[in-house]
Structure 1
Amino acid sequence: MSERRHFIQTLAAAGLSPALAAAAAPQAALQSAAKPQIHARRLRPGDTVALVSPANATFEREPIEIATEALQALGFKVRHGANLRARYGQFGGTDAQRAADINAMFADDSVAGIIAMTGGSGCNRIVDKLDYKTIAARPKFFGGFSDLTSLVNGIQRQTGLVTFHCPVASSEWNGYSVAAFRSLVMEGEAALLKNPPPERGDNIVPTQYRTRALRGGKARGRLVGGNLAVLSSLIGTPYAPEFRGAILFLEEINEYIYRVDRMLSTLRLAGALDQLAGVVLGHFTKCEPGDGNYGVLTLDEVFDDYFLPLNVPVYRGAQFGHVKRKLTIPVGAEAEMDADAGTIQLLKPVTV
Structure 2
Amino acid sequence: MPRRHFLAASMAATAAATAATAGAAVPPLLRAPRLRPGDTVALINPSGAIYERAPYQFATEALQALGFKVREAPNLRARYGHFAGTDAQRAADVNAMFADPSVQGILAMTGGSGGNRILPLIDYAAIRRRPKFLGGFSDLTALINAVQVQTGLVTFHCPMGASEWNDFSVQWLRSAVMEAQAVTLANPKDREDNLAVRGGRITTLRGGTARGPLVGGNLAVLSSMAGSAYWPRFDGAILFLEDVNEYIYRVDRMLSTLKLSGALDRVAGVVLGGFTNCGPGDGNYGTLTLDEVFDDYFKPLNVPVYSGALFGHIKRKFTLPVGLPVEMDADAGTVRFLQPAVL
Q: Which TM class, normalised by the smaller chain length?
A: over 0.9
Instruction: Give me the whole-angstrom Cα distance separating, in 1, the residues matched to 2:299 and 2:124.
Output: 37
Match of 2:335 in 1: 344
Instruction: Give me the whole-angstrom Cα distance separating, in 2, the residues matched to 1:231 and 1:31.
Output: 19
Match of 1:58 in 2: 50
Residues 22 and 233 in structure 2, CA contact (< 8 A), matched pair in contact too: no
Residues 50 and 111 in structure 1, CA contact (< 8 A), matched pair in contact too: yes
Instruction: Give me the whole-angstrom Cα distance separating, in 2, the residues matched to 1:89 and 1:31.
Output: 37
Report SS of the residue matched to 1:205: coil
Instruction: Give me the whole-angstrom Cα distance separating, in 1, the residues matched to 2:285 and 2:313.
Output: 26
1:144 to 125, 136, 150: 136
Instruction: Give me the whole-angstrom Cα distance separating, in 2, the residues matched to 1:85 and 1:31.
Output: 39
CA offsets 1:112-134 (integer angstroms, 9 cap, x no match): 01000001001001011100010
Q: What is the identity, as a one-letter code, of the residue corresponding to 1:237?
A: S
Match of 2:253 in 1: 262
CA offsets 1:129-165 (integer angstroms, 9 cap, x no match): 1000100000000000000000000000000000000
Q: Which runs of 5+ in 1 are unaligned?
A: 1-19
Larger radius of gyration: 1
Match of 1:100 in 2: 92
Instruction: Give me the whole-angstrom Cα distance separating, in 2, the residues matched to 1:293 and 1:341.
Output: 39
> What is the RMSD of the two structures over their aligned residues, measured on CA atoms?
1.7
Aligned length: 330
Q: Which runs of 5+ in 2 are unaligned?
A: 1-11
Residues 31 and 238 in structure 1, CA contact (< 8 A), matched pair in contact too: no
Q: What is the identity, as a one-letter code, of the residue corresponding to 2:252?
A: D
- Judged with a 3 Å threshold, the aligned counterparts in structure 2 of structure 1 residues 30 and 296 are, in CA distance, closer, same or farther, namely closer
Match of 2:306 in 1: 315
2:325 to 327, 334, 350: 334
CA offsets 1:318-350 (integer angstroms, 9 cap, x no match): 000000100000000000000011000000001
Residues 31 and 237 in structure 1, CA contact (< 8 A), matched pair in contact too: no
2:244 to 235, 243, 253: 253
Residues 30 and 158 in structure 1, CA contact (< 8 A), matched pair in contact too: no
2:225 to 228, 234, 247: 234
- Judged with a 3 Å threshold, the aligned counterparts in structure 2 of structure 1 residues 30 and 313 are, in CA distance, closer, same or farther, namely closer
CA offsets 1:69-113 (integer angstroms, 9 cap, x no match): 111111100000000110001111010000000100000111001
Q: Note the C-alpha offset of 1:274.
A: 0.5
Match of 1:132 in 2: 124
Match of 1:180 in 2: 172
Instruction: Give me the whole-angstrom Cα distance separating, in 1, the residues matched to 2:22 and 2:211.
Output: 26
Asked if 1:77 corresponds to 2:78, the answer is: no
1:304 to 285, 295, 300: 295
Q: Note the C-alpha offset of 1:33.
A: 4.1
Match of 2:41 in 1: 49
Aligned-pair identity (%)? 67
CA offsets 1:184-211 (integer angstroms, 9 cap, x no match): 100000011111223253x322111111
Q: TM-score, normalised by structure 1?
A: 0.91
Q: What is the identity, as a one-letter code, of the residue corresponding to 1:248?
A: L
- Judged with a 3 Å threshold, the aligned counterparts in structure 2 of structure 1 residues 31 and 54 are, in CA distance, closer, same or farther, namely farther
Q: What is the identity, as a one-letter code, of the residue corresponding to 1:113?
A: G
Match of 2:6 in 1: none
Asked if 1:204 corresponds to 2:195, the answer is: yes
Report SS of the residue matched to 1:326: coil
**Deviation above 6 Å: which 4+ runs of structure 1?**
none
Asked if 1:325 corresponds to 2:328, the answer is: no
Residues 195 and 209 in structure 1, CA contact (< 8 A), matched pair in contact too: yes
Instruction: Give me the whole-angstrom Cα distance separating, in 1, the residues matched to 2:20 and 2:283.
Output: 44
Q: TM-score, normalised by structure 2?
A: 0.93
Instruction: Give me the whole-angstrom Cα distance separating, in 2, the residues matched to 1:31 and 1:132.
Output: 19
Q: Note the C-alpha offset of 1:214.
A: 0.3
Report SS of the residue matched to 2:234: coil
1:193 to 168, 175, 185: 185
Residues 21 and 228 in structure 2, CA contact (< 8 A), matched pair in contact too: no
